[in-house]
Structure 1
Amino acid sequence: MKAKGIRILDKINRVVSVKLQDILKEISNGNLLYWSILHFYGSGVLKNEKSIEVLEEEANKSEKGFFLTWDDLNELANDLWEIEDMLVIGSKKQEKIIRHKIDQDMYESCDIVIEMFDSCYWEVFSSDEALINRLATKFKHTIFLKPNFEK
């Protein structure tokens, strides 16, 4: 599957102004996908019985990451105060929700990849070109990307 990508660089006073929930709002078929957080470092207070530390450990160490539903992902996005690093993947096929050793495999097999880099910017890759175009329209400072493996 061909993935298109976008880097979102919107900032206010040199701080990323785009929240995870701002990106999630543009995903029209999120409830049809399986979701997992494969990497997380940040802060917040979770409404369920898990702590941020448990979320980090499960996301960062589990082979398949921290599984959650679309509704749970949206609720989590609202519970987080700060996201320094995060990798979220969504796929129509549950067997594709794994920790990929090569980014190319992740981009090709997952329907949506959302990543925050060092509190600096978001990158979103998706086989849904319309999603990438909606994000480009919604945010001011964006750069279209191709997965690194494309020439």
Structure 2
Amino acid sequence: MITQAISCPRGESISLITDDLERILVRISIERSQIPRVERRDGAPPKHWNILMRQFRFDALRADGSIRELSNFLEPLSGADFVWSILDFDGVGIAPNNMRMDEFTAMARSQPNGILLRWQELVSFSAHIHQTYDCLIVGAEKESDIDRTKIVAGDYAAVTVVIEAVDMSYWNVWAPNDYQVH
């Protein structure tokens, strides 16, 4: 086995590992900015949730190799008239209001109730996202139902919808029982 490390600008490092079958594994590790991260529950079920909600779990990759994106999880909720909040977002795409994505991420993580949006704003945001690494988005009847501390701790009792992407591996959605992703 031959290993070669390549340094790149901005602290990126690429390791190329080649084995006898001439397979190449590229591992990119990018030093992330010092933005505080939302504490994750690592897929643990929420402590409390709305009785009308049910958990749905989806692998980030479909069987055909395509990637599930945020917009896929919003389609079944079309027109959902909730107050929406992005409590965490780490991904690739175009952030709203000419912000850089790292600025948008920092804002979502630092605001007590996250970044509040109406349905059309959330749909527009999702249309400009190319890839999602981590996210935590909730929909609630009213803004006062959104409590970052409770939600991050797994208490979903006051919200109606929770959409969570975990480490670009899978998506968790807590939504009304009739929710269906195609």
TM-score by length of 1: 0.78
State how many pairs are aligned: 130
2-structure distance, mates of 1:124, 1:44: 21
Match of 1:58 among 101, 107, 117: 107
Larger deviation: 68-77 or 48-57? 48-57
Instruction: Note if contact 1:16-1:120 (Cα within 8 Å) is conserved in structure 2.
Output: no
Percent of counterpart pairs with the same letter? 25
Match of 1:21 in 2: 71
Match of 2:178 in 1: 130
2-structure distance, mates of 1:41, 1:80: 10
Q: Structure 2: which 5+ residue stretches go unaligned?
A: 1-49
| Matching of residue 100 in structure 1 with residue 156 in structure 2 | no
Alpha-carbon displacement from aligned partner over 1:83-129 (angstroms, at most 9, x marks no partner): 100000000121012203420x2x21110000000000110002x10
Match of 1:148 in 2: none
Q: Give the helix-richer structure, 1 or 2.
A: 1
Q: 1:72 to 1:29 in 2, by over 3 A?
A: closer
**By how many angstroms is 1:44 displaced?**
1.1
1-structure distance, mates of 2:122, 2:78: 14
Instruction: Note if contact 2:61-2:67 (Cα within 8 Å) is conserved in structure 1.
Output: yes
Greater length-normalized contact order (CA 8 Å, ≥ 6 residues apart): 1
Output the amino acid matched with 2:146.
Answer: I
Match of 1:75 in 2: 124
1-structure distance, mates of 2:174, 2:109: 20
Match of 1:6 in 2: 56
Moved over 2 A (4+): 12-16, 46-51
Instruction: Note if contact 1:65-1:98 (Cα within 8 Å) is conserved in structure 2.
Output: no
TM-score by length of 2: 0.65
CA RMSD, 1 decimal: 2.0
Q: 1:86 to 1:16 in 2, by over 3 A?
A: farther
1-structure distance, mates of 2:138, 2:160: 8
Match of 2:7 in 1: none
Describe the SS at the equivalent of 1:75.
helix
Match of 1:84 in 2: 133
**By how many angstroms is 1:15 displaced?**
6.0
Q: 1:15 to 1:37 in 2, by over 3 A?
A: farther
**By how many angstroms is 1:62 displaced?**
1.2
Q: Structure 1: which 5+ residue stretches go unaligned?
A: 139-151
Larger radius of gyration: 2
1-structure distance, mates of 2:173, 2:110: 22
**By how many angstroms is 1:51 displaced?**
2.2
Match of 1:42 in 2: 91
1-structure distance, mates of 2:105, 2:130: 14
Instruction: Note if contact 2:60-2:171 (Cα within 8 Å) is conserved in structure 1.
Output: no
1-structure distance, mates of 2:120, 2:142: 18
